[in-house]
Amino acid sequence: MTLTDGRRPGSRGVAADHVSLRRNNLSVVLRHVRDLGPRSRARIAEETGLNKATVSSLVAELVERGLLREGLADSSRALGRPGQLVELDGTGVCGVGAEINVDYLAVAALDLAGDVVLEKRVPVDVAHLEPGPTLDRLAELVQEAVTAVDVRHGQLAGVTLAVPGLVRVETGELKLAPNLGWGELSIAQEMRMRLGEPTYPLHVDNEANLAALAAYAELRRTEGESMHDLVLLTGAVGVGGGVVAGGHLMRGGHGYSGEVGHMPVAPPGRTCGCGRTGCWETVVGLTALLHKATDRDDPVRDPSLDVEQRLAGIIRRAEAGDARTLSALKDVGTWLGIGGAILVNILNPDVLVLGGYFAVLGPWLKEPLEKAIQDRVIAPDGGGCRVVRSELGFAAAVRGGAQISLDQVFVDPTRIGAAS
């Protein structure tokens, strides 16, 4: 029996299986070179279990797609003719991350090797703007990054937008961003319209989740594959958390995990952006620190200034021994440890990572934070959890957003280029 087009029954399924298998093998080879560095074709075959002819074909396609390139001769071979190494070609493929936060907008473009193509942050008083003008300005920044990719003749893997609130990742809808005063807004749809309905993928995610992924990648580069679990605390006006467990981001049943800033651990007092009192961020957020350390008319409270410029003023006062500043930092650090201890007791991560303004002011926050964790975590030695400062600071969310887009290339290399 034959089908009307002359093919045997099931041939379409066989063809689809072949395409799927090749796509998977391309991913295996590309990720192998990314994770372990330059390799000869023979060594890739030996280490992955693929046969040499298959590896040669896969490498040729990945080179054609601009994802791998020929490197130096393999000097590790003691006998025989040295093979040619292949290495990751990071220059031709880029991902873009963009962020909306209470007092700034930011964007970053990274290439496949993780090198920065463009990075920019501008102070914007988003909390006092309507969504429309904010998204207009964000679209300008995204287009600036896309243009930077075009200038270097790169291919854009995608754009990921980071928002400080509850996001439905699968639809790109923002459900609630209390510190922005936004809710029920289809950010993905609004941004696609402003960007001229682009052909590249555009996604929306929670900024703390993206920052956690960036921090995880950062630590894996410095500490190796033994590090699997972390909690990231990112501080701005609001406080967010991202959890990586077993190497995977924990999103929760409906994708709303990480809203640690609204844990009810503080005494009743100042009203939180969510409308409640007692939220953790009312005692550890940047607004809380500025209220404790400065007067109402102090320049460091001016949202038109870049946040790191404002924090530089706090640092100068702390380094000069200003009593009010040091007292405020110790208070925030202690409260940071009280909430952090709850998370360590529940999750027992390898590392508690300080991001955002917590990272910038880490030299003054870390000691009281660690003391509170030691005093309040029931497991010996604070459950073995270390406290570290992220080197990415306020760039973590946009770096994580760019990396999310690039990660899809490693999952499916056929997204990029076109093999003949």
pLDDT in tens, 364-378: 999 999 999 999 999
Q: 166 pLDDT exceeds 80?
A: yes
Domain presence at residue 11: no
The mean pLDDT of the chain is 90
Rounded CA separation 175/186 (Å):
9
Domain presence at residue 3: no
Residue 352 three-state SS:
strand
Q: 403 pLDDT exceeds 70?
A: yes
pLDDT attached to residue 416? 87
Shared domain for 240 and 374, answered yes or no, is yes
Q: 206 pLDDT exceeds 70?
A: yes
pLDDT attached to residue 255? 85
Shared domain for 105 and 160, answered yes or no, is yes
pLDDT attached to residue 96? 97
Shared domain for 240 and 352, answered yes or no, is yes
Q: Which of 88, 109, 134 is the last residue of a domain?
A: 88
From start to end of 74-140, where are the E strands? Answer: 84-88, 93-100, 104-111, 116-123
pLDDT attached to residue 2? 31
Rounded CA separation 365/144 (Å):
36
pTM of the entire predicted model: 0.86
CB-CB contact of 263 with 280 (8 Å): yes
Domain presence at residue 220: no
Shared domain for 245 and 329, answered yes or no, is yes
Give residue 253's pLDDT band: very low, low, confident or very high (50, 70, 90). Answer: confident
- Quote the number of domains for the chain: 3
Shared domain for 368 and 386, answered yes or no, is yes
Domain presence at residue 405: yes
Q: What is the pLDDT of residues 331-356, one digit of tens each?
A: 999 999 999 999 999 999 999 999 99
The one-letter amino acid at 363: P
Shared domain for 110 and 82, answered yes or no, is no
Q: What is the pLDDT of residues 265-311, one digit of tens each?
A: 988 878 888 889 999 999 999 999 999 999 999 999 998 888 899 99
Shared domain for 262 and 354, answered yes or no, is yes
pLDDT attached to residue 419? 46
Q: 109 pLDDT exceeds 80?
A: yes
Give residue 361's pLDDT band: very low, low, confident or very high (50, 70, 90). Answer: very high
Q: What is the pLDDT of residues 173-183, one digit of tens each?
A: 999 999 999 99
Domain interval for residue 37: 18-88
Shared domain for 68 and 203, answered yes or no, is no
Give residue 15's pLDDT band: very low, low, confident or very high (50, 70, 90). Answer: low
Q: Which of 88, 118, 147 is the last residue of a domain?
A: 88
Shared domain for 275 and 355, answered yes or no, is yes
Shared domain for 231 and 365, answered yes or no, is yes
CB-CB contact of 113 with 176 (8 Å): no
pLDDT attached to residue 304? 86
High-pLDDT (> 70) share of the chain, %:
93
Shared domain for 130 and 201, answered yes or no, is yes
Shared domain for 231 and 190, answered yes or no, is no
How, if at all, do strands 93-100 and 104-111 pair?
Answer: antiparallel
Q: Which of 230, 256, 225, 223 is nearest to 244 (CA)?
A: 230
Residue with tokens 């289809």: 186
Structure tokens at 135: 């998204």
Q: 126 pLDDT exceeds 60?
A: yes
Domain presence at residue 5: no
Domain presence at residue 420: no
pLDDT attached to residue 272? 86
pLDDT attached to residue 10? 54
Domain presence at residue 108: yes
Q: What is the pLDDT of residues 68-91, one digit of tens each?
A: 998 776 666 555 556 789 999 878
Q: Which of 71, 88, 105 is the last residue of a domain?
A: 88
Domain presence at residue 215: no
CATH number at residue 99: 3.30.420.40
CATH number at residue 74: 1.10.10.10
